[in-house]
Structure 1
């Protein structure tokens, strides 16, 4: 006997509330309170859609095989560094570096080293030319690890450089994120492989995601290595500055030499092993350079036991004594980061956020704006850079320390993406970064609290609603 419409309505109502109850009991035990709030709100409004979405994307799980492989390479990295005492840099007592070094090393595996040279590349096309020139000078190997590669003029130039290198007998390996570099992989994978370049896609999408982890986990790192002697790390992808129409990017890349290059190569070989199961015996120890910059790597991602990027960024904010400058294109902080910024400003630290006046992700932009009022009230300065989409990501603490890399200040960078940061403990390099920041600010609008509060009520409502979805971004 088929149930009538009345009975069917009651069955649907019961299922609706059953889903809500199960979500209420289950979701908070598997994720952070902030993320649980967003998911429970979605399930509460649309249970039949919210629960399946949570099952697909709610918990940042990674396959046991990937977690096990990361643990294996972490142990290997630590064993190798234990034999390299002469390269370890020891910070002075009572400094920001002395406080942050142990945290970064315990979470991300890498000790700080001295004897490095670090060059900051602020010119988009200049940074690409420097990378291609380094590849053209390669004699042994080229390793590229990038989130995004486009099928544009930059993609063509990079592929041509790899083809030239491979033709000279240079061993070339390329790791590209399967989603971020989808267009580049589709266009160039077969061509590169036919030239002898080993190309691998990271974190594949489609049905294969079940063997990798949560389907929206991504490898967001940008690393290039040539012969184990020079490395590039930063925010810039393998694409032209206008690969998103209307949002020409401005980036920052660090070109490095010295012992830290071997550590960058260890990150590459770790990701290669986690993705393919193939262990590359290419780790080297470049000699110290004429320069003597102390540097340390901060890798992070869901394969690590802790949220390395989030913890390090929050610790650095708390450690600032006089000045903190934070540059990021995507600013959707969790409660701990928001509180850290507010406390720093109220404690007398000059806190300056430099964000982009335009944004290619509308929901993120709206959510980002919802934090401005609270931060401005606490004394945080917020500048909106106008000429470009400011995609650079870096942080400066006083005159002591700079963090440059791929890390955004949002839940995606803190919990979902594999990221990389380079910490430089050097007053000269920090002064260079300050000069770059001043140029950002010369082309930026400083927000005024009174003026900001005059925005329409509908805009404030839109921002508040978008903020509720912070865990879904």
Structure 2
């Protein structure tokens, strides 16, 4: 009888395994994954059967859970009236764009339904202490509301100064909301600050909560990766910086201080940022917090200089699919003279790789700046698999040596800028909740160029001939990790 039971159990396991495999294959084929992604999944599942199946269950399907999924599909229908009123304020929209930006702004108008919004006060911030001091100053001057969303809030140093400023504002009657990613901000939720803030009246939400009971309900690696601050529906910040003190953050990793970039903007662009925040808040809490409606024809722009215009692109479940990826491709193909890209994680899609190489081959001066040392071994090796093709096309690759360059920026012909939270990897482009600013402004472009040239001055240019002499073991490792490229 024991032998019979063991045989029956073996057949049941064998049958169960193939049912799961067939189910996964069915999902891959019916969801129209890209060819490299589909092939990678097939190989992982067949070469590493158990690991492959478990990996698929955690990372293969984009699911939020039933409640969040329903909310994500409903949020835009509920905000239509607000958007109609917003679009009726003609004074805030810029109807013309520069030659290099026109195609991208047309894409945004077609897919998001909005023209570019005039810039008012727009400033780039690169020094962590200056960023934090400016944020704290604005928090203390807030009159009505403060909303924040961050992937990482790491207690200690500068972060505690921001926490104290928020608590002080909440106690004087300012409506404060704070949304933090569960995985990225695990140290925050284990610290005293979550309780102190809630007791002071701040609404604190743990986004995409991770625990053992929800692993099969929510996709494990779908993260809230935005970094946004909204104050009084008028001032907004976004960029690459998490709420951390770079002097303390990940000191043991040996990669140096993290180097970031943030933009501070005043004006009606805060309305579209507020809509995105409202949608994120509703997906997590079920409650809608639409920003106040603008009064038609009563919008005053403080600056009298030429404004330029801004578009905000958000990604994630419930938002226009693949929009950031499309925007990057459109911007790269619009380049006529110079293209500079900074990213900490360079694992581009085939389309992006082809666009970048094509830009260099048609005479555009293309530079990519990445950190020499990275906090992710997997991404480090996967990135190197692209170097040969980029170098052959004429792309200049700079390895930043003065810390972990975490800035995410694209500058086209010193006129069209894209900055935000998205890395050049699959997770940022097709999975996470991300945000990107598209800015058509010559002065802003020059400011961004100055920062990027400074990065280059602290970088080492990768030599094409020297790179070609690397060992065969390095080539094997690069190609092995490239195998996981579509899964990163």
| Whole-Å separation in 2 of the counterparts to 1:442 and 1:77 | 46
CA RMSD of aligned residues (A): 2.3
> SS in structure 2 opposite 1:437?
helix
How many angstroms apart in 2 are the aligned matches of 1:18 and 1:88?
Answer: 54
Q: TM-score, normalised by structure 1?
A: 0.93
Could you tell me which of 39, 57, 71 is aligned with 1:55? 57
Matched, 1:119 2:123: yes
Deviations 1:105-162 (A, max 9, x none): 3334543111422100011111111111111111211111111101212231111011
> Which residue number in structure 2 is paired with residue 268 of structure 1?
277
Alignment coverage as a number of residue pairs = 472
- Which residues in structure 2 correspond to 1:70-469 (within 5 Å)? 70-72=75-77, 75-76=80-81, 78-92=83-97, 95-187=99-191, 188-206=193-211, 209=214, 213-241=218-246, 242-245=248-251, 246-247=254-255, 248-285=257-294, 287-290=300-303, 291=305, 292-469=307-484
Distance 1:4 1:143 in 2: 60
- Counterparts in 2 of 1:162 and 1:327: CA distance versus 1, 3 Å: same
Q: Following TM superposition, by how much is the alpha carbon of 1:61 offset from its aligned partner in structure 2, in angstroms?
A: 2.7
Once the two structures are superposed, what CA deviation does each residue of 1:420-463 show, in whole Å capped at 9, x if it has no partner? 11111111110001100110000001111111111111111111
CA distance in 2, matches of 1:160, 1:308: 37
The CA distance in 2 between the partners of 1:212 and 1:115, in whole Å, is: 41
What SS does the corresponding residue of 1:219 show, helix, strand or coil? coil
Conserved in 2, the CA contact under 8 Å of 1:118 and 1:293? no
Q: Which residue of 42, 45, 59 maps to 2:47?
A: 45
1:115 to 1:23, Cα distance in 2 relative to 1, 3 A: closer
1:244/1:5 CA distance change after superposition, 3 Å: same
Q: Indicate if the aligned counterparts of 1:117 and 1:293 stay in contact, CA closer than 8 A.
A: no
Question: Which ranges of structure 2 fall in alignment gaps of 5 or more residues?
Answer: none
**Cα distance in structure 1, aligned partners of 2:272 and 2:126:** 23
Query: 1:54–1:76: structure 2 CA closer, same or farther, 3 Å change rule?
Result: farther
Q: Distance in 2 between matches of 1:349 and 1:116?
A: 31
> In the TM superposition, what is the alpha-carbon distance from 1:199 to its structure 2 partner?
0.7
The 1:73–1:233 alpha-carbon spacing in structure 2 relative to 1, beyond 3 Å, is: farther
Q: What is the deviation of 1:92? A: 4.2
Taking the aligned partners of 1:19 and 1:68, their CA distance within structure 2 comes to 28
Distance in 2 separating the partners of 1:125 and 1:428: 24
TM-score scaled by length of structure 2? 0.91
Q: Distance in 1 between matches of 2:278 and 2:333?
A: 33
**Which string of whole-angstrom CA distances, capped at 9 and with x for unpartnered residues, describes residues 77-116 of structure 1?**
53233312221111247x1221111212333454311142
CA contact (8 A) 1:301 1:419 kept: yes
SS in 2 for 1:142: strand
Cα deviation for residue 347 of structure 1 reads: 1.2
Q: Distance in 1 between matches of 2:337 and 2:43?
A: 40
For 1:41 and 1:74, how far apart are their aligned partners in 2?
Answer: 43
- 1:194-227 deviation digits (Å, cap 9, x = unpaired): 0111111111112564797422111111111111
Tell me, what secondary structure is at the counterpart of 1:382? Answer: strand
How far the C-alpha of 1:12 sits from its partner, in A, is 6.8
48-57 or 107-116: which moved more? 107-116
Would the aligned equivalents of 1:91 and 1:97 in 2 still touch at CA under 8 Å? no
How far apart in 2 are the matches of 1:393 and 1:159? 25
Q: For 2:233, what is the secondary structure of its paired residue?
A: coil
- Residues in 1 aligned to 2:196 and 2:13: alpha-carbon distance in whole angstroms: 54
State the Cα distance separating 1:23 from its structure 2 match. Answer: 4.4
- Does the CA contact (< 8 Å) of 1:110 and 1:297 recur in 2? no
Q: What is the CA-CA distance between 1:10 and the residue it aligns to? A: 8.1
